[in-house]
Amino acid sequence: MLERTQRTRNGRRPTLATIAQSAGVSIATVSKVVNGRDDVAADTRALVEDLLRRHDYAPPSARRPQPPSRVVQFFVHGELRAYSTQVIEGVLGGADEAEVSVAVGRLADDLSQGPSANSWARGLAALGREGVIVVTGELTAEHVDALGQAGLPLVVIDPLNLPRREVTSVGSTNFTGGMTATQHLLQLGHREIVYVGGPGSSSCNRAREHGFRAAMEAAGLQVAPEAAMDTENFAYEPGRRAGERVLDRARRPTAVVAGCDSIALGVMEAARVRGLRVPDDLSVVGFDDTELAEVSTPPLTTIRQPLREMGRVALKTVLRMAAGEQLDSHHVELATELVVRATTAPPPA
């Protein structure tokens, strides 16, 4: 009886004839076993199947090169955080439904330090990418144009800044979310409310701040310049530093609307260090509703963005564009909603 090692020594793949000779049966019998026919005696079938395994036999159809799978390029800007992780889960879920693959990469902070825009886009096209999705990234106009010239559709999720108005984007109702968060605090009786957001250049951050201002003004409250503060990015440490500045003011606010959950947690830490209790002394509302909101102490009241659905919609949209379909709108906004937990309460007496 031939062993699998013999195929390795002579360098030849086993054939049906090889298996048939080893088993002492006809080639037709081996073929029936390979194709799942039931008109073969049980003991003969067991012998042939054992030899097929020993020889590591693969039918010719399985040896032919398979066509390459369709691949969408997904770029994350900056570090992977709870926000981007949930978006990636949505993109992967959409990819499973569409039976495509996703290649994940990191977008550089300064694209001018890397290859030229045209080289970058041509490289992606040479890899056979169907399209490109960028989350919270800031592409230059040259990179957007280069992708178009390379025939690669682009979808941006929660863009920091769109270099072209016609760039397709997926986001949420950021203005409504900022307004809803502020209205919640106003209904609890707060009047000294500040907004601590992300980068000033971020379009989603500006929309959330405008929602905050709209709610305050609708309540007849003047919004002082210092009532809104930007940070360098949507992260915990900038939120903590901003919280220190806000809470050290002579006229300390009773509530904070944060531009994201991580910033909210940073503000809460600044409050804890100063002996302030949340929500007894300070109410805090986040934005995103990542896993951080549920596991924080106390659990964070926040504005929920449908992050996974945003990723899923972005994946489907870029595939529609790759197929040449016309979109009803270049900008999709999914609804936000308030999730009340334990970081908001009426202001201290």
When divided into structural domains, the chain yields a total of 3
Q: What is the pLDDT of residue 78?
A: 78
Final residue in a domain of this structure, among 63, 89, 113: 63
In this prediction the pTM is: 0.79
Q: What is the pLDDT of residue 8?
A: 36
CATH of the domain at 14: 1.10.260.40
Q: What is the pLDDT of residue 107?
A: 87
| HEC string for the chain | CCCHHHHHHHCCCCCHHHHHHHHCCCHHHHHHHHCCCCCCCHHHHHHHHHHHHHCCCCCHHHHCCCCCCCEEEEEEECCCCHHHHHHHHHHHHHHHHHCCEEEEEEECCCHHHCCCHHHHHHHHHHCCEEEEEEECCCCCHHHHHHHHHCCCCEEEECCCCCCCCCCEEEEECHHHHHHHHHHHHHHCCCCCEEEECCCCCCHHHHHHHHHHHHHHHHCCCCCCHHHEECCCCCCHHHHHHHHHHHHCCCCCCCEEEECCHHHHHHHHHHHHHCCCCCCCCCEEEEEECCHHHHHCCCCCEEEECCHHHHHHHHHHHHHHHHCCCCCCCCEEEECCEEECCCCCCCCCC
Q: Which two tokens stand for residue 157?
A: 């999720």
State how far the Cα of 312 lies from the Cα of 306, in Å rounded to an integer: 10
Q: What is the pLDDT of residue 61?
A: 57
Pair (330, 253) in one structural domain: no
Structural domain includes residue 231: yes
Pair (203, 148) in one structural domain: no
Beta bridge partners of 77: 107
Final residue in a domain of this structure, among 12, 32, 63: 63
Q: What is the pLDDT of residue 12?
A: 62
Pair (243, 285) in one structural domain: yes
State how far the Cα of 307 lies from the Cα of 321, in Å rounded to an integer: 21
Respond yes or no on whether the N-terminal peptide bond of residue 279 is cis (omega within 30° of 0).
yes
Pair (127, 18) in one structural domain: no
State how far the Cα of 313 lies from the Cα of 311, in Å rounded to an integer: 5
Q: What string of pLDDT tens digits covers the 349 residues of the chain?
A: 333 333 434 446 678 888 888 888 888 888 888 887 878 888 888 898 888 888 877 666 555 555 557 999 999 987 888 999 999 999 999 999 999 999 999 988 777 777 899 999 999 999 999 999 999 777 888 999 999 999 999 999 988 777 777 899 999 999 999 999 999 999 999 999 999 999 988 889 999 999 999 999 999 999 998 999 999 999 999 999 999 999 999 999 999 999 999 999 999 999 999 999 999 999 999 999 999 999 999 999 999 999 999 999 999 999 999 999 999 888 999 999 999 999 999 999 8
Pair (155, 274) in one structural domain: no
Pair (299, 315) in one structural domain: no
CATH of the domain at 240: 3.40.50.2300
Of 244, 201, 204, 249, which Cα lies nearest the Cα of 225?
249
Q: What is the pLDDT of residue 3?
A: 37
Q: What is the pLDDT of residue 157?
A: 93
Structural domain includes residue 298: yes
Pair (322, 210) in one structural domain: no
Q: Which two tokens stand for residue 293?
A: 């909101």
Q: What is the pLDDT of residue 16?
A: 82
pLDDT, tens digit, 9 for 90 and up, residues 243-273: 999 999 999 999 999 999 999 999 999 999 9
Pair (148, 49) in one structural domain: no
Pair (272, 210) in one structural domain: yes
Q: What is the pLDDT of residue 33?
A: 84
- What residues make up the domain containing 115? 71-172+308-334
Pair (139, 75) in one structural domain: yes
Q: What is the pLDDT of residue 5?
A: 36
Pair (181, 299) in one structural domain: yes
Of 6, 38, 42, which Cα lies nearest the Cα of 21?
6
Q: What is the pLDDT of residue 68?
A: 56
Q: What is the pLDDT of residue 6?
A: 39
Q: What is the pLDDT of residue 65?
A: 55
